[in-house]
Structure 1
Amino acid sequence: MSGLTLWTNKEISKLKRDIDGLYDRMCRDFGISQLMDSLREGPLVNITETKDSFVVKADLPDLDPEDLNVSVTDDLLIIKGEKREKISYKTDGIKHIGSFSSRVRLPSRVKIGNVRASYKEGVLEIVLPKYRASASLSVKILKK
């Protein structure tokens, strides 16, 4: 195994920056929007907690709510979306389609039947009411 070379985090970070730079230059050279790059990693998501619910806000500018999909399980929120962008040239337009999927692990279970979502001015807001377990019950132990 003497032929193996271990890379340090510094070397890996430099390689990533170099590859990102090449990609950015290629996008500029071919006139491709940086939108694809921003959608690749998903939207910026902010989670706040109130007494009764979690509120998730995702920055999704210039998207049509019809192109968004929100799904919830007990403690997992999934936001999926698709962005269509048409670039017009003198002869022809090119349509770019970018999609993303973000998974957000919630701090606790939520009432999935009561989740509400709204989209306004580029921000998707999802209100997820907290699941409250029923009150504890003391069980009497019978002696046999």
Structure 2
Amino acid sequence: MTTPVRRRNGGAMQDRPLGWTRNPLREFDQLLGEMSGLIESTVGGAAPAVAWTPLADVRESDDAFHVEIELPGVKSKDVDVEANGQELVVTGEVKEKQREGVLRRSTRRTGSFEYRLRLPGEIDAERIKGQLSDGVLTITVPKAEIAKPRHVEISETSGSTESSG
């Protein structure tokens, strides 16, 4: 009875061109690992699952950012607004209503929600205001004094100071 002969992979690898000796997916795996690390450092490794993100409009005026977020049926006590640096985070919960009878169909969103917005300029976090009216949360985020546009006066000098020589 003959026993199988085990060959080393090194012999077969030498017949291939030099570019074939490395794993072609190694760079992809490295990139995927780096992206996963970046996401975990941004969101956190044990971030709670967020069911949905509400619809919103963001406008910018000369002195503030104005954010309108649709939150129908939400009470102000169920909403939390936080500002950290240039980021605005709105979290909360839409509670399911107690119903009698059998619910045949439901298309309303319930559960936890989160809306994150990174603003393009410096903000004055101490003066942020929020108002909930008719199912729309309106947040006014004032710009910091250093971020406001300033008009620069340009003076004009009369005459030229050229010398002839």
Indicate the residue corresponding to 1:81 in structure 2.
92
Indicate the residue corresponding to 1:109 in structure 2.
122
Which structure has the larger Rg?
2
Say which of 66, 86, 110 aligns to 2:77. 66
* Residue 142 of structure 2 is aligned to residue 124 of structure 1: no
Identity %: 30
Structure 1: give runs of 5+ residues left out of the alignment: 2-38, 136-144
Structure 2: give runs of 5+ residues left out of the alignment: 1-22, 24-49, 103-108, 151-165
Task: Tell me the CA shift for residue 90 of structure 1.
Answer: 4.4
Separation (CA, whole Å) in 2 of partners of 1:127 and 1:113: 11
Aligned length: 94
Cα deviations by residue, 1:37-88 (Å, 9 ceiling, x for unpaired): xx82211111100110000000000101110000002210000011111342
- CA contact under 8 A between 1:114 and 1:128: conserved in structure 2? yes
CA 82–71 in structure 1, closer or farther in 2 if over 3 Å, else same: same
CA 90–57 in structure 1, closer or farther in 2 if over 3 Å, else same: closer
CA 82–46 in structure 1, closer or farther in 2 if over 3 Å, else same: same
Task: Tell me the CA shift for residue 132 of structure 1.
Answer: 2.2
> Higher strand fraction: Structure 1 or Structure 2?
1
Q: CA RMSD in A?
A: 2.6
Structure-2-length-normalised TM-score: 0.51
Cα deviations by residue, 1:86-132 (Å, 9 ceiling, x for unpaired): 342449xxxx9600112111111100000000000000000000012
Matches within 5 A, 1:1-144: 40-90=51-101, 98-133=111-146
Structure-1-length-normalised TM-score: 0.58
Separation (CA, whole Å) in 2 of partners of 1:97 and 1:106: 27
